[in-house]
Amino acid sequence: MSTLRRRSSPAKALLTPQEQTAQRRARRIGTLIASPGALYLLIFFMVPLGLITVYSFATRTSTGRTSLSGWNLNSYERLADDVILGIVGRSAWLAFITTVLCLAVAYPFAYYLATRSPRVRARLLVLVMIPFWTNGLVRIFAIRFLLGSNGPASALSEALGFGTFRILFTPTAVVLGMVYGFLTFMVLPLYVALERMDWRLVEAARDLYASGGKAFWRVTVPLTRSGIVAGCVLVFVPSFGSYVVPEILGGAKTLLIGSYVARQFQAARNWPLGASLSVLVIVAMLIAVTINQRNSENAERTRAGAP
């Protein structure tokens, strides 16, 4: 990396002809190696991304087809409908609650992980990673099975004398499923931030008679801000656009944006409306990613010691 940077620095004129040829050659090799993958992403990701944007300005014909002639903002205007606003609002609200719950649980958890000895830490980390990469559908199905009417959880609660409980097909079940599904997205960046933190700063605060709580809120939390922001972004985005969780655990009252988009492309056959909602999700995602990027760049700079 550093050699690369040195070579392409403004001192280009100082390079010998051989070095210039070598540089051009490296550039050609880079292009050659990158282009098959880049081309694939262009065709099967960037073009679809462009198309969905085009579709969001298209018209739905009376037969449910999409007509690309005559661009308009109709489907964006429909986003102001009460029904749709309700769905978007509910999705954002449930995603927000999920994020807060994940943060509340994951911070102490990551703190615990980061303060173990390296050996224990490595083992616990594997235990965290396994469910993270394990089949998401099956894990949500497991929750559905557990919470089902007369399911194991209900049987247990009855046996303990708490009576039956029914939370399946409620917003609570959806939030529970999303926390279950996305908790690790919060744990990992928090763990990385806490692990890289310079604990001597906390010690210094303690030496200066800061109480444990004060040292935590004034030193530890600000120092791990990049992890907190990254975790929140990584949980909020998939929760906001979640489709599988509300389909399996939610009921008629918990229609979320993901399911609503899916419906527009299935039975409802209103592709332009579905497209405009997808654009909304994509914009939300891009904003979140930008916030995260800027935040982690700031953290890097702080670590590097620059103002």
Residues 87-116 that bind another protein (CB under 8 A): 105-106, 108-109, 111-113, 115
Select the residue interacting with another protein from 73, 155, 204, 221 (CB under 8 A): 155
Answer for which of 131, 195, 201, 295 binds another protein (CB under 8 A) is: 131
Based on CB atoms, which residue is closest to another protein, 127 or 307?
127
51 in contact with another protein (CB under 8 A): yes
Determine contact, residues 197/223, Cβ cutoff 8 Å: yes
- Least Å distance, CB 82 to another protein, is 23
Distances (CA, A) of 275 to 44, 83, 88, 239: 17, 17, 14, 19
Smallest gap from Cβ 222 to another protein, in A, equals 20
Axis-axis angle for helices 171-196, 136-147 (nearest 10): 130
> Restricting to residues 246-285, which ones interact with another protein according to CB under 8 A?
247-248, 258, 261-262, 265, 271, 274-275, 278, 281-282, 285
For position 240 contacting another protein by CB under 8 A, the verdict is yes
For another protein, give the closer residue by CB, 105 or 201.
105
Tokens of 206: 């303690």
Measured CA to CA, the distance from residue 232 to residue 95 in angstroms comes to 10
Instruction: Give the nearer residue to another protein in terms of CB position, either 51 or 83.
Output: 51
- The answer to whether residue 208 forms part of the interface with another protein (CB under 8 A) is no
Q: Report the SS3 class of residue 134.
A: coil
Range 216-235, binding another protein (CB under 8 A): none
- Residue 145 vs 162, nearer CB to another protein: 145
Rounded-to-integer distance, Cα 263 and Cα 247, Å: 11
Under rule CB under 8 A, which residues in 2-41 are in contact with another protein?
4, 8, 26-31, 33-34, 36-38, 40-41
287 binds another protein (CB under 8 A): no
Return the closest-CA partner of residue 106 out of 221, 175, 185, 187. 187
Angle at 143 between CA 138 and CA 148, to 5 degrees: 120
- As to burial, measured by CB atoms within 10 angstroms (0-12 exposed, 13-18 middle, 19+ buried), residue 192 is middle
